[in-house]
A and B are shown apart, each in its own frame.
Chain A
Amino acid sequence: MTILETSGGKRGRAAIGREVLVKWAPLLVLLVLCGIFALMEPRFLSTRNFARILIAASPALMVAIGVTFVIIMGSIDLSMEGTVSVCAVAFALCFLWFGGTLASWAWLALPITLLVGAALGFINGLIHVKLKIPSFMASLAMGFVGTGLAMVTTGGDRIRIEDELFRSLLTERILNFPLMVYVAGIFLLIAWFIQTRTTLGRNFYAVGGGEDLAVASGLNVNRVRVMGFALAGMFFSVGALLAVGRIGIAETATGNNFMFLSITAVVVGGTALWGGIGGVWNTLVGVLIVFVIGNGMVVIGLPGYVQDGVLGILVILAVILSTDRKSISFVK
């Protein structure tokens, strides 16, 4: 899946208006969607409902942010389902082993989980870079390995996390929003910080914008790639923590459905699959669009069998609207 950009570069001033429009299109789509759902069912537009949408979206947002970095590099990471499962299970096991409540040493399970996620991503990146396997395939296979690992570890059992302190992620609210929404927000800011203020974050864009050029500039692209996958793995593990926090259960199935969901969200948000364009705020908007559609369709009472189709149509429309058609000549 590659794309060639027209060798432009001489886009006149007149084009800026369109560029600005395209840049903000995902947000507009989000607002319009909210407007439509609110018109059809006024209850959609309530703080409590937004809290519900955000609770549902928080784990997916973390996973999508992780994969955003990889997509900006022009690669793709499909290992999230496995990584999330492994991290969820690893967290639960560590947490219980260390005492089962945050008040004890069990808080150690949190950093350990992040390390597990980063390590999985690191391995993923190494396989991709060292064996020269395209990331699509390498990460897909690593996803299988991850899901399998979680399965072997648990034997299929679910592990409950009952600790009230940990579950306060869901139950404790500040200004009507539960703690996990704030945690997701903090990690979003961290991601934004990485994206804009660190060498690594900027190097993602360099690799995505022109890998051979980046090599010629003396950039250690392989290192950037591996670090990118490791960073993605770490964000997947944050997603796993929030997913466990939301349901209170860690299991092999914790990672289910994250793959297509997160990549769809990233693309809908306006990050280009061919790399170099987009960022974590795009991803936030994309995730919100997907979850607003999901929530909105139930809220307005669409029959179940129509929902998948409507989601499909809306996703296509959202991507069309947020694509700068003038700047690309073809897409695969």
Chain B
Amino acid sequence: MSLEKLKPYFPWLTLGVLLLLVGAVNPSFLNPASLLQLVADIVPLFIMAVGMTFAIYIGGIDLSVQQVANLVTVIATVYLAQFGVFVTVICIAVGFAIGAVSGWVTTRQFVPSFVATLAMGFIALSGARFLSGERALSMNAEARDASFGWMFGNTGGVPHELIIAALLLALAWFLQTRTTFGRALKSVGAGELAAVASGLNVHRIKILAFALSGAFAAIAGLMFSVKLSGGDANLANGFLILAIVAVLVGGTPLTGGVGGVINTLVGTLIVVVIRSAMVYLEIDATMQQMIFGLILILAIATTIDRSKMRIVK
């Protein structure tokens, strides 16, 4: 097999090598039960990263996801008692709407998505701070268990969180590969002008991509909120950079049109392995960030496919 053919598998190889390296130093890391738990714990982050993939896939970026998730933790906590499990609908609708506005500002008003989504994030943050009354709120325990208690059970040893993540991934993958929308996304990411010249409604597709990113961020926020049984305007802090890194390490470059949600799965796993490995290998906490950065450079250098990048900017 030539190097060229192996390229799409570089992210997987990187993940495998990382796992083996860490496992070689500390075999208990490869314990299947703890690995499964490890993966179950990053489900909210993963879902957010999957959503972000849509924005990056069309060549944009969505920096509002973390604040959308923050807002959603507050909404979920405040309205859970009133609406029960249907609070999900409100949360997703809010995420979708914020994403759609970001998309509209980007496509129709020509504000680069970097700035447009950052600014929309600020607006979401304002909403979260207002709605929470600037306090950390906790969910009504009975209401939480009644509506979302099932989320933390197991079926045949598989945590339900993982099943949700798998379903959402399947949905995203189906959208990406099997629907006209997914095809349109790809064409916009790889050749926006050709998409226009083929009569696609490019604006609508882009707005929808950002809206989906927002909706997934909302689901991530909701799950995190239920998991933590509460919400406040800072609860989801720390998600954003990791979500971006997960998408990029997975091999979906910022230029768009390449990669996809499966790549994001690998990327998220790589990120989480690096992070947990720090704990396993007892790396001094003050050095972790530096080492994370260095490994990140290595990981990206090995995972990205440069064949479609004529110019590296």
Contact = CB atoms under 8 A, between A and B. Distances in A.
Interface stretch (A127-135, A186-194, A237-245): A127-135
Interface in A109-136: 127-129, 131-136
Nearest to B109: A320
B297 A304 contact: no
A134 B254 contact: yes
Contact of B254 (A1, A156, A305): A1
Contacts of A132: 301, 306, 309, 312
Interface in A193-235: 211-212
Given A4-B192, A264-B115, A320-B111, A134 B293 contact: no
Interface stretch (B25-33, B86-94, B120-128, B162-170): B120-128
B25 to A, nearest CB: 21
A148 B122 contact: no
A135 B253 CA distance: 11
Given A309-B127, A312-B126, A313-B119, A128 B110 contact: no
A151 B290 contact: yes
Interface stretch (A43-51, A54-62, A165-173, A323-331): A323-331
Contacts of A148: 286-293
Q: Is the interface of A mostly helix, strand, loop or mixed?
A: helix
Given A1-B113, A1-B114, A316 B105 contact: yes
B134 to A, nearest CB: 6
Q: Is the interface of B mostly helix, strand, loop or mixed?
A: helix
A128 B256 CA distance: 19
Given A141-B300, A142-B297, A312-B126, A134 B312 contact: yes
B312 A306 contact: no
Interface residues of A, number: 64
11 contacts: A138-B300, A144-B289, A144-B293, A148-B293, A152-B290, A212-B310, A273-B114, A312-B118, A312-B123, A319-B111, A330-B110
Contacts of B310: 212
Given A2-B59, A145-B293, A316 B126 contact: no
A164 interface: no
B277 to A, nearest CB: 15
Given A307-B126, A308-B125, A332-B58, A145 B110 contact: no
A144 to B, nearest CB: 3
B312 A133 contact: yes
B287 A152 contact: yes
Interface of B: 58-61, 63, 105-107, 109-116, 118-123, 125-127, 129-130, 134, 192-193, 202, 241, 244-245, 248, 253-256, 284, 286-294, 296-297, 300-301, 304, 306, 309-313
A134 B122 contact: no
A320 B192 contact: no
Nearest to A313: B123
Contacts of B110: 320, 323, 325, 328, 330-331
Contacts of B293: 82, 141-146, 148
Nearest to A315: B119
B121 A312 contact: yes
B113 A211 contact: no
B297 A127 contact: yes
A229 to B, nearest CB: 12
A15 B123 CA distance: 35
A133 B304 contact: yes
Contacts of A320: 105, 109-111
Contact of B122 (A133, A212, A267, A309): A309
B119 to A, nearest CB: 4
Given A133-B304, A312-B123, A305 B297 contact: no
8 closest residue pairs by CB, A with B = A148-B290, A309-B126, A144-B293, A312-B122, A148-B289, A145-B293, A305-B129, A312-B119
Max count, chain B CB within 10 A of own CB: residue among A74, A141, A211, A260: A141
B292 A144 contact: yes
B131 to A, nearest CB: 9
Contacts of B129: 304-305, 308
B115 A332 contact: no
B115 A315 contact: yes
Given A136-B254, A316-B105, A323-B110, A309 B123 contact: yes
Max count, chain A CB within 10 A of own CB: residue among B111, B119, B130: B119
Contacts of A319: 109, 111-112, 115-116
A301 interface: no
Nearest to A325: B110
A94 interface: no
A267 B60 CA distance: 15
Contact of A305 (B130, B289, B292): B130
A25 interface: no
A331 B112 contact: yes
Given A142-B293, A312-B122, A133 B300 contact: yes
A151 B313 CA distance: 29
Contacts of A142: 293, 297
A211 B311 contact: yes
B119 A1 contact: no
Contacts of B202: 330
Given A131-B297, A313-B123, A140 B245 contact: yes
A76 B300 CA distance: 16
Max count, chain B CB within 10 A of own CB: residue among A138, A308, A310: A308
Given A138-B297, A151-B287, A312-B122, 10 more contacts: A1-B59, A75-B313, A134-B254, A134-B255, A148-B288, A268-B115, A305-B130, A306-B126, A309-B126, A332-B59
B256 A316 contact: no
